[in-house]
Structure 1
Amino acid sequence: MQSKIKISLRFKFLICYLLLVVLTVGLLNTYGHKLMYQRLLDNAETSIYNEAEEIKSQYLANAYLVKSSITSIRKQLCAIHNATGIRIWISETDGKIIIDSDMQKNKEGYNINEYDSSLLSKQTVNSTNADNLLSDQSFCVVYPVTSGLDISFYIILSLPVNTLHSQAVQNVDAILICYIIISALLFIALLFLYLQTVIPLKSMQQAAKEYAAGHYDYQMPEYAGHDHTDLAGAIQYLATKMKDTNEYQKNFIANVSHDFRSPLTSIKGYTQAMADGTIPPEMQGKYLDIILFEVERLTKLTNNLLSLSEFENKGVPLEISTFDINKELKRCLATFEQRCTQKHISLDITFDAKTSLVDADQSKIEQVIQNLVDNAIKFSNDDSTIEIHTREKNQKVFVSVKDHGIGIPKESLGKVWKRFYKTDLSRGKDKKGTGLGLPITKEIIENHGENINVISTEGVGTEFIFSLPKHTE
């Protein structure tokens, strides 16, 4: 239905364009022709009056010499007639024509008053044939030649109106041809613009609808070299981001469901077993410890999710203070002493400066250190070393946590910052992890306006480096 409406609208625009062209052509052929004829008539009237003035001054200035010079005057008037198409009569005051410039339809000796008694009393007549004295309907100008107060002769000049109509038609036709050519060129230009803009935009609109419906594999036609290539690229980029977001949401829900289901299943199972007496009282302490452990897992997971959500929404204000990052590192590392002893892991701590003051949120940076060192211990091999190093450069303090463990595959390096992401190599070692530690760490550092990077080689080890603003006096 929508397609039919769009086709109908395009058809209506085409019909309107054609109607406009047809109406313009009709207007030019009617009103335009009338205006053109009137203009030619006005020009002809001026020209004929000028011609009459010229004839009077050259041939009829001396009335006494006219009759003796009729042959010569006739010859001159015939030349004017042939050159201009204006027929010239010289008549006496009683209306008798004594000279006619048209030798083929000569009316010399005819009396005008016998055919049209009112003609000589007028100055101009737009269309007359003087009761068939003229062979064609003509525009006439009557110019009296006076001598003192008396009229000596009449100069009657006539121009066939069909000549003026023909000239008007020719002029209008020339305008019409130009108009039709311009209309055709304009149509071609509009068609070109339609093909260059509307068609691609419709394709993009369709693509946007497909992407909005979740069809992210829909292929948008390419429009290389067009002005809207950037727009098409932006839509495709948006579709890619929507696809990634959609996949992320699916994975997020799947991971959250999995990470919540596992401890909840354990809690439910052990609680049910204790309730129905399957687990004897002397064994219940052991399973209560397991239930408490799973509850702590759920609590940690929930808190991490809340923290990450707050950071991403910029809803947690940082409490910036000045503290010694070296001292903070020593304090945090002390909490891992027991775990390091169990795995025979030694901590190699190196500080380039005895004191490195930074401006940051101390509690949040403590969380960053805890996450990074926890990861390092978790994925380090037994009897290995974890190196912690701080150095100052360009008003920054850089903190490095480097282990010599299993490492991260190259293809997984860019994914470690995603929620719940765990590399295949880490899954066997990270049974207690939530997959949220590194995303939270990244959000904390970025909220400080700083950066964190990871360098890793599979089977060799991993190094995390983050920066903090150095305190300036």
Structure 2
Amino acid sequence: MNKIGKKLFGYFFLVMIFFSVVVFTGYYGILKYQLIGHHEEELVDKAEIIKRQLEEFCCTDGQVGKGAYLKYLDDITLAEVYVIRKDGEPFTCGKNPDSEKQASAKVKMYANQVFSTEKSILERVKNENGKSILYVAEPVFEEGELISALVMVDTFKMEWDNFVVPMLVLLFCLLLAITVSIFLIVFLVKRFMKPIHRIGFVTKELANGNYQAKVGIYDNNEIGILAKETDILAEKLDDAQRKSERMNKMQKDYITNLSHELRTPVAVIRSSLEAIKDGMVAPEEVLDYQNQILTETVSLQRLINDMLELSRLENEDFPIEKDTMNLYEALEDSIRSVRLLANDHNIEIEYSRKGEEWLIDGDYGRIRQMFIIVLENAVKYSKNDTKIQIEVYEKERECFVSVQDEGCGISKEDQEMIFEKFYRTSDMKKTGTGLGLVIMKNIAKRHDIDFRLTSEVGKGTKILFIIPCYI
């Protein structure tokens, strides 16, 4: 049994001992109370009987038997019996009515109370030794007239013989209950600790990198909730591990692709320059080599600019120069820039809008760049002799810009990752660094522009920009 199990066992055991003591003490008190109550009732019954007997004596002639009866009242009742007349003198006192023994002041006090109230009295007091003394006082009548007061005095003594048997039985039952409870507590503690041990084991497995471990406990209580949260944590850690592995792979692929993109133009430029320098190029071919060098230099410059641009956009501290601008002008400017590329592939661009202008606070160049990236991708991944539809409409202080192509589409897997920094789709026939959509996403983020992508493989892709009005 572990530390928590031992503590639980100790707590249960202490509670059980506490309740056993309470039960034992309570039972003792109740038993004592019942015995005292029984003794009081018995003494009251005796007083009632003596009272009636005295009243009968008063109604009969002669003294035959009266003296003997009064003489032995103490022995009959096993208590001190006093019969005091109304004038305060004792009619009888104790066992010997002829003795000089007189009633105490306490007895006379109760007798006086009876004469003044004509009612019965029952009272229990403690003497200087702490013993309980019972006083019972009864009025004695003769033909309706109060003639004397009967006072009985008895010292209550607890007879331990009355306690031994029931207390031993109770003690035996408590010991038996404690013994059985110990085994039951051990069983319950082990059962209670079982799911906790399972959660601890799974937690250790998670710490060791085994995110497939599951608790598998579905109790509808706090431990069940903890088990459920642990399983959710395991799932999230497993997802995070998969995502981390995917990101690492994406980063490696990106570095490999970037190295290739850098190496290729550099190699072409170097080989071309070396050929020209060594005189291995005919004069009529020098211009072609120069054009090739220029093309590769432009490609290399574009790659470097994309990397720098992305680095700036991702830096929140890097300011963007915003000014009041017409969104429609930036969109139409980007359409004009891409239209020539679309014409080369016989792709038609259809553009429709509602409204004259949509003023926002933004960077014209970057908003234009955001639209160009989307339109170039639409052209690049569309088949020849298709069309791209651009629709602009306004609704409830928001402008919606929709760009839809009839291209190859994007799979569900790629849709989740296509806007990540190091991601490229499996279509390697298309050139590019895979930074375009990342740059677009960051431009939209810096301008508080929301966008949504829907796509279906083989049917095309649609990107919807939602642009609020700030002016």
If the length of structure 1 is used for normalisation, what is the TM-score? 0.63
Cα deviations by residue, 1:301-337 (Å, 9 ceiling, x for unpaired): 5335425643xxx656666543222211222233335
Out of 367, 370, 379, the residue aligned to residue 365 of structure 1 is 367
Provide the residue aligned with 2:396 in structure 1: 394
Specify the alignment match of 1:408 in structure 2: 410
* Partners of 2:460 and 2:153 in 1: CA distance: 120
From the superposition, tell whether residues 226 and 399 of structure 1 become closer, same or farther in structure 2 (CA, over 3 Å): same
- 2:103 match: none
Q: Are the equivalent residues in 2 in contact too, given 1:407–1:462 (CA < 8 A)?
A: yes
Q: 2:12 aligns with which of 12, 17, 26?
A: 17
Corresponding residue number in structure 1 for 2:422:
420
Structure 2 matches for 1:90-105, cutoff 5 A? 91-92=95-96
SS at match of 2:2: helix
Letter in 2 for 1:242: A
Tell me the percent identity. Answer: 19
Distance 1:325 1:205 in 2: 58
Deviation at 1:400, TM superposition (A): 2.0
Q: Which segment is superposed worse, 415-424 or 282-291?
A: 282-291
Task: Confirm or deny: 8 A CA contact 2:328 2:357 kept in the other structure.
Answer: yes
| Structure 2 residue identity aligned to 1:436 | L
Offset from partner CA, 1:24-71 (integer Å, 9 cap, x none): 546865x66775676566556655654564455344687965446589
* Cα shift at 1:255: 3.0
Q: Distance in 1 between matches of 2:97 and 2:172?
A: 45
Per the alignment, residue 161 of structure 1 pairs with 159
Rate the CA distance shift 1:233–1:153 in 2: closer, same or farther, 3 A. closer
Q: Is 2:240 the counterpart of 1:216? A: no
Q: Label 1:212 to 1:296 Cα distance change in 2 as closer, same or farther (>3 A).
A: farther
* Residue pairs, 1:58-457, within 5 angstroms: 58-59=52-53, 65-67=65-67, 91-92=95-96, 161-166=159-164, 169=167, 176=174, 195=192, 199-200=194-195, 203-223=198-218, 225-226=220-221, 228=225, 231-232=229-230, 234-236=232-234, 238-266=236-264, 280=278, 292=297, 295-296=300-301, 298-303=303-308, 305-307=310-312, 309-310=314-315, 321-409=323-411, 412-424=414-426, 426-429=427-430, 431=431, 433-446=432-445, 448-457=447-456
What is the Cα-based RMSD across aligned positions, in Å?
5.4
Which whole-Å deviations, capped at 9, do the CAs of 1:386-421 have from their partners, x for residues lacking one?
A: 333322222221112233333334554444333333
CA contact 1:358–1:397 (8 Å) conserved in 2: no
Tell me the amino acid that sits aligned with residue 453 of structure 2: V
Q: Secondary structure at the match of 1:408?
A: coil
Secondary structure in 2 aligned to 1:454?
strand
- Shift in alpha-carbon separation, 1:21–1:279, aligned structure 2, 3 A: farther
Check 1:390–1:421 CA distance in 2 against 1; reply closer, same or farther (3 A cut): same
**Secondary structure in 1 aligned to 2:329?**
helix
Separation in 2, partners of 1:123, 1:396: 97
Note the 1:27-38 alignment, pairs <5 A.
Answer: none
Residues 416 and 253 (structure 1), Cα distance of their counterparts in 2 relative to 1, 3 Å cut: closer
Map of 1:114 onto structure 2? none
1:250 Cα offset (Å): 1.7
Do the aligned residues in 2 keep the contact of 1:92 with 1:154 (CA within 8 Å)?
no
1:372 counterpart letter in structure 2: V
Which secondary structure state, in structure 2, belongs to the residue aligned with residue 467 of structure 1? strand
Partners of 2:357 and 2:158 in 1: how far apart?
A: 114
Aligned-partner SS, 2:388: strand
- Structure 1 residue identity aligned to 2:420: K
> Structure 1's 38 and 205: CA in aligned 2 closer, same or farther, altered over 3 A?
same
In the other structure, the counterpart of 2:110 is none
1:356 is matched by which residue type in structure 2?
W
1:372: how far off?
0.3
How far has the Cα of 1:221 moved from its partner?
0.9
In the alignment, is the contact (CA less than 8 A) between 2:46 and 2:77 conserved in 1? no
In structure 1, distance between residues paired with 2:317 and 2:53: 108
Contact 1:453–1:464 (Cα < 8 Å) also in 2: yes
Amino acid at match of 1:470: C
Conservation of the 8 A alpha-carbon contact between 2:258 and 2:433: no
The number of residue pairs the alignment matches comes to 403
Residue 447 of structure 1 and its aligned partner are, at CA, apart by 5.0
Please give the alpha-carbon distance, in whole angstroms, between the structure 2 residues aligned to 1:377 and 1:266.
24
Q: Is the 8 A contact 2:378 2:388 kept in 1?
A: yes
CA 1:423–1:285 in 2, change beyond 3 Å: closer, same or farther?
same
Shift of 1:468: 0.9
- Equivalent AA in structure 1 for residue 454 of structure 2: I
Please state how far the C-alpha of 1:10 moved relative to its aligned partner. 1.1
Residue 57 (1) aligns with residue 51 (2): yes
Amino acid at match of 1:463: K
Q: Which residue of 2 aligns with 1:112?
A: none
Distance 2:202 2:277 in 1: 60
Distance in 2 separating the partners of 1:94 and 1:247:
117
1:388 aligns to what SS in structure 2?
A: strand
TM-score (normalised: structure 2)? 0.63
Q: Match for 2:255: what amino acid? A: S
The CA distance in 1 between the partners of 2:455 and 2:402, in whole Å, is 13
Distance between the aligned counterparts of 2:357 and 2:270, measured in 1?
A: 55
> Structure 2 vs 1, CA of residues 442 and 276 (structure 1 numbering), >3 Å: closer, same or farther?
closer
Q: Match for 1:349: what amino acid?
A: Y
Q: Give the match's secondary structure for 2:368.
A: helix
- When residues 24 and 465 of structure 1 are mapped into structure 2, their CA distance, relative to the original with a 3 A threshold, is closer
Q: CA deviation at 1:161?
A: 0.8
